Amino acid sequence: MTRATTRKAEAGGEDQAAVPRRLLSHATKLFAKKGFDRTSVQEIVEAAGVTKGAMYHYFGSKDDLLYEIYARVLRAQTEQLEKVVSSEAPLRERLRSAASDVVVSTIDNLDDNTIFMQSMHQLSVEKQKAVRAERRKYHERFRTLIEEGQESGEFRADKPADVIVDFFFGSVHHLGSWYRRGGALSARQIGDHFADLLLAALRPE
Amino acid sequence: MTRATTRKAEAGGEDQAAVPRRLLSHATKLFAKKGFDRTSVQEIVEAAGVTKGAMYHYFGSKDDLLYEIYARVLRAQTEQLEKVVSSEAPLRERLRSAASDVVVSTIDNLDDNTIFMQSMHQLSVEKQKAVRAERRKYHERFRTLIEEGQESGEFRADKPADVIVDFFFGSVHHLGSWYRRGGALSARQIGDHFADLLLAALRPE
Amino acid sequence: MTRATTRKAEAGGEDQAAVPRRLLSHATKLFAKKGFDRTSVQEIVEAAGVTKGAMYHYFGSKDDLLYEIYARVLRAQTEQLEKVVSSEAPLRERLRSAASDVVVSTIDNLDDNTIFMQSMHQLSVEKQKAVRAERRKYHERFRTLIEEGQESGEFRADKPADVIVDFFFGSVHHLGSWYRRGGALSARQIGDHFADLLLAALRPE
Amino acid sequence: MTRATTRKAEAGGEDQAAVPRRLLSHATKLFAKKGFDRTSVQEIVEAAGVTKGAMYHYFGSKDDLLYEIYARVLRAQTEQLEKVVSSEAPLRERLRSAASDVVVSTIDNLDDNTIFMQSMHQLSVEKQKAVRAERRKYHERFRTLIEEGQESGEFRADKPADVIVDFFFGSVHHLGSWYRRGGALSARQIGDHFADLLLAALRPE
DNA sequence: AATGAATGAGCCTTCATTCAT
DNA sequence: CATGAATGAAGGCTCATTCAT
């Protein structure tokens, strides 16, 4: 966990960003590219232009670095979902937005997402629990939306809501292994396709 | 790759199975449980009850072990899909079967699937290519099925077939991170739910 | 070595004692409990409730802390012995007092004694010399007492006086590894037993 | 703990002695000279002319090395005491021999003894327990000898036997901090002096 | 076909100390 | 007086792989 925050000037570009931020950002890139285990602390600090000692001043361990990355993503996604869910729009619109948005934000943070999928099991059991708990909360909020529609008859009710949630988030989490920036479709286009497919799958028969 | 085969198991239990098979099977369990990097060759040979020398007699490297596991799964799944696709059943039935079957076989080999998802990027680039090529072939066969339906008007045509394939296989590959044996739903039930959702999503509007 | 002294404690508890004293006292406890090398400067300053900078303000190094502890104990013990030796009491009484007193004061400062025994060799060679010199002076004063008795015929003369001194101080220095406060015998009782044993061992045959 | 033993030829001198033995012997010298914490594994393996990997092949940790040294000494001393104690000689002679012998063997293995005194507390708590237990057994056997004499009236009974044991072993354990080979007195001479002093201290008043 | 001792490179982490503020 | 970020050097340990037997 971050032991300190800094208030260094952030004008001038990456190289002058606060040390912890720089560490986090380079660690993210490297973890995504080579995997957590294959990335050495040495590589991280070299990329960030600091020394090992500096890293251990801010983060308790290599694990902590990973955990911070997770926590940041989870926080951001949860916040966003919260906003969409609690809006005034009709149910179908709220679900469509939530679905499309989570795709877009996943693509925008493809590295974090990749790490998430590949390295979670390398965290200490304790931290894994914390991460899973947060994730579960996220899924549950999404599920609530679906259940709401099942009760009102807007969505088919012959499939358990949690199976649908896992069905959809599987697709989302998998984006990292095939989506490439600069391809034919933009993040939003993928998001809309996915949202359409989800809503179509949910239409009552 | 296996350099040799051994005399048949002398009937009895796992313990007497051929050495390469025993190594592969224990490696699979350990990789799934702890990840490829976190599993040492020592652990594998101890679990399999052989020595390091023996392992290096049959497999060229730790990497090879992983590759063998992949190859086995890919071969099995490809064969199965081939069978379904080339049957005489109507298109919708063939797609439904293919979808449901891949879910069931993924669940039946959950460990292999988990390893697949988590450790592929730890293979040498060369072997990754081989694996990816095989996987692509698999996806393509599946895509063909969908395109067939889009051309005939049975399936909606406003979504690119490959987006649909990725959408669906995301769900499948993700099974390993939530499905637990002994839960409320059987492998086949999940398979049928997933197949239904896919087909519903494909209905023309 | 202490570079400065601070304003008197503002009355209250330990927490308000002068910073150097607090550092010394916590360092003593930690060194005795975990050994010099196993105790980090960080732990010491945390225990004392100050920062590293503060410690390095008062002490030149971690070594200095250890040296100060030694110096303090040595000074105290030497002073006390001096007092006893130069009293007017008969020789046997002076020796008995000196022996018993050194046991009691060793037990009273068990932590310091433990550190003394375990960590002396971790000091810089230079400081070790200073410590050893002081210790030798202490032993010599004790030895003089014994030689005096050997010359007068009160003590057996068939054993070198310095062997006797080492024999006795071995017992004393070893107290730290078995004596536990709250045991059956008080510090003074042990002191008297030890003194009795020493005097008995010295009786002419 | 030693994971394996070797049966290499031992002709030719130290350099060709079995690897574990060579490691143990150099570790002993270094620990005695610089202390456990100040000695790096690197130094040990360099002195022994092997690589780190080799060391970790035979010993689980640096701790293990220390433990093996202890165990070896304890075993040897216990055996020797056993022999003396159970002889047919008169009590005073048995005690005299035991006392003198333990001094001689301590001096003969001065390095081991030094390590013993300085580094025991750096072992894992678990191993410390094992060592202490063995030590206690050793002391108890010695104490039995004294109690026997107290009951028969040969030795003074006004001092607890265990205080006497600690008094004497303090002297013995302390040998390492003052005895220097090549000094005026041989190991046996010191042993006899110590034994005499002990027996004199035990004479009934 | 199999053993297991040995290698050698690399990894995560700790820590006393310095220094700008 | 005091802070705490940063350094830089070690340190203990792991591990895939090789090789003589």
What mean pLDDT, rounded, does chain D reach? 87
Tokens standing for C151?
């010359």
Cβ D35–C122 below 8 Å, yes or no?
A: yes
Low-confidence ranges of chain B (pLDDT < 70): 1-17
Taking the stretch 73-102 of protein chain A, residues with Cβ within 7 Å of any atom in nucleic acid chain E are none
Which residues of D spanning 56-115 put their CB closer than 7 angstroms to strand E? 56-58
Q: Are A18 and A8 in contact (CB under 8 A)?
A: yes
Cα–Cα distance for residue pair B125/B130, rounded to 1 Å: 9
Of C66, C74, C49, C50, the closest CA to residue C1 belongs to: C66
If interface means Cβ-Cβ distance under 8 Å, which residues of chain A face chain B? Answer: 34-35, 37-38, 117-118, 121-122, 156, 159-160, 163-164, 166-175, 177-178, 185, 190, 193-194, 196-198, 200-203, 205
CA dist A101 and A106 (Å) reads 8
Mean predicted confidence (pLDDT) in A61-80:
88
Measured CA to C1', the nucleotide nearest C39 is: E15
3-class DSSP assignment, residue C122: helix
Instruction: For residue range D78-87, list pLDDT tens digits in order.
Output: 888 888 888 8
Task: Count CB atoms within 10 A of the CB of residue A128.
Answer: 15
Instruction: Give contacts of B106 with chain A, Cβ < 8 Å.
Output: none
Contact (CB<8Å) B171/A172: no
- For the cut 70, the answer to whether the pLDDT of residue C2 exceeds it is no
Do B175 and A174 count as a contact with CB atoms less than 8 A apart?
A: no
Percent of the residues in chain C that have a pLDDT greater than 70, as a whole number: 92
Average pLDDT over residues C70-91: 87
pLDDT of residue A119: 84
pLDDT class for C4, splitting at 50, 70, 90?
very low
State the smallest CA–CA distance between residue B23 and chain A in angstroms.
Answer: 23
Banded pLDDT at C140 (limits 50, 70, 90): very high
Nucleotide nearest to A20 (CA to C1'): F5
Q: Nearest to residue A162, comparing CAs of A135, A144, A137?
A: A144
Q: How far apart are CA C103 and CA C171, in angstroms?
A: 9
pLDDT at C41 over 90: yes
Q: Output the pLDDT for position A117.
A: 82
Instruction: Strand E proximity: list residues 52-91 of B with CB under 7 Å.
Output: 52-54, 56-58
Across the interface, of A190, A196, A201, the residue whose CB is closest to B200 is A201
Optimal mutation site among D174, D192, D198, interface C, most CBs of chain C within 10 A = D174
F1 nearest neighbour residue (CA to C1')? C54
Q: Say which nucleotide is closest to residue B20, CA to C1' distance.
A: E1
Q: Which residue has the tokens 């046996």?
A: D188
Between residues D66 and A117, which one has the greater pLDDT? D66
pTM: predicted TM-score of the whole model, two decimal places: 0.81
Q: Which residue of C has its CA nearest to D166?
A: C171
Q: What is the mean pLDDT of residues C148-176?
A: 96
A175 chain-B contacts, CB cut-off 8 A = 170
Q: Is B170 in contact with A170 (Cβ distance < 8 A)?
A: yes
Smallest Cβ distance to A159: which of B169, B177, B196?
Answer: B196
- Give the Cα separation of B3 and B20 in Å (integer): 9
HSE of B19, CA atoms in CB hemisphere, 13 A: 19
Length of chain B: 205
Residues of D in contact with C205 (CB under 8 A): 200
Tell me the average pLDDT across D87-99: 94
- Scored b (16 or more CB within 10 A) or e, B144-158 reads ebbbbbbeeebbbbe
Nearest-CB residue to C200 (from D118, D173, D203): D203
Q: CA angle at residue C112 from D136 to C195, to 5 degrees?
A: 65
Name the residues in B23-52 having a C-beta closer than 7 Å to nucleic acid strand E.
50-52
Question: At which residue do the structure tokens 């294959």 appear?
Answer: A38
**How many residue pairs from chains C and D have C-beta atoms closer than 8 A?**
93
CA to C1' distance (Å), from D130 to F6: 43
State pLDDT tens for residues A176-202.
989 998 889 999 999 999 999 999 999
Structural contact between residues C163 and D193, judged by C-beta atoms closer than 8 angstroms: yes
Sketch out chain D's domains with CATH numbers: 14-58 (1.10.10.60), 67-202 (1.10.357.10)
- What's the CA B41/C1' F16 distance, rounded, in angstroms? 8
**Who among residues 68-87 of C has its Cβ near strand E, under 7 Å?**
none
**pLDDT > 80? residue C109:** yes
Cβ <8 Å between D163 and C190: yes
Whole-number pLDDT of residue C16: 58
DSSP string, chain B: ------PPP-SSSGGGS-HHHHHHHHHHHHHHHH-TTTS-HHHHHHHHT--HHHHHHH-SSHHHHHHHHHHHHHHHHHHHHHHHHTSSS-HHHHHHHHHHHHHHHHHHTHHHHHHHHHHGGGS-HHHHHHHHHHHHHHHHHHHHHHHHHHHHTSS--SS-HHHHHHHHHHHHHGGGGT--TTSSS-HHHHHHHHHHHHHHHHS--
What subunits touch chain B, counting only 3 or more CB pairs under 8 A?
A: A
- In Å, how far is A22's CA from the nearest CA of chain B? 25
pLDDT at A86: 87
Q: How confident is the model at residue C7 (pLDDT cuts 50, 70, 90)?
A: very low
Chain D: residue whose CA lies nearest to C192: D159
Residues A10-20 pLDDT 10s: 333 445 568 89
Q: What is the average per-residue pLDDT within C54-68?
A: 92
Do A35 and B121 lie within an 8 Å CB cutoff?
Answer: yes
Given this model, what pLDDT does residue C17 score?
67
Determine the residue of chain B that is closest to A116 in CA distance.
B118
Percent of chain A with pLDDT over 90: 60
Asked if the Cβ of residue C40 lies within 7 A of any atom of strand E, the reply is yes
pLDDT value, residue D199: 97
D132, D185, D197, best to mutate vs chain C, most C CBs in 10 Å: D197
User: What is the reported pLDDT for A85?
Assistant: 86
C12 pLDDT more than 70 = no
Write the pLDDT tens digit of every residue in D109-154: 898 888 888 888 888 788 888 888 888 888 999 999 999 999 999 9
Amino acid letter, residue A172: V
Q: Most confidently modeled of A91-105, C17-31, D113-127? A: A91-105
Higher per-residue confidence, D52 vs A125: D52
| Chain A span 25-44 residues with beta carbon within 7 Å of strand E | 39-43
Query: For C7, which DSSP code?
Result: P
Distance from CA of A49 to the nearest CA of B (A): 26
Q: Which chains touch C (3 or more CB pairs under 8 A)?
A: D
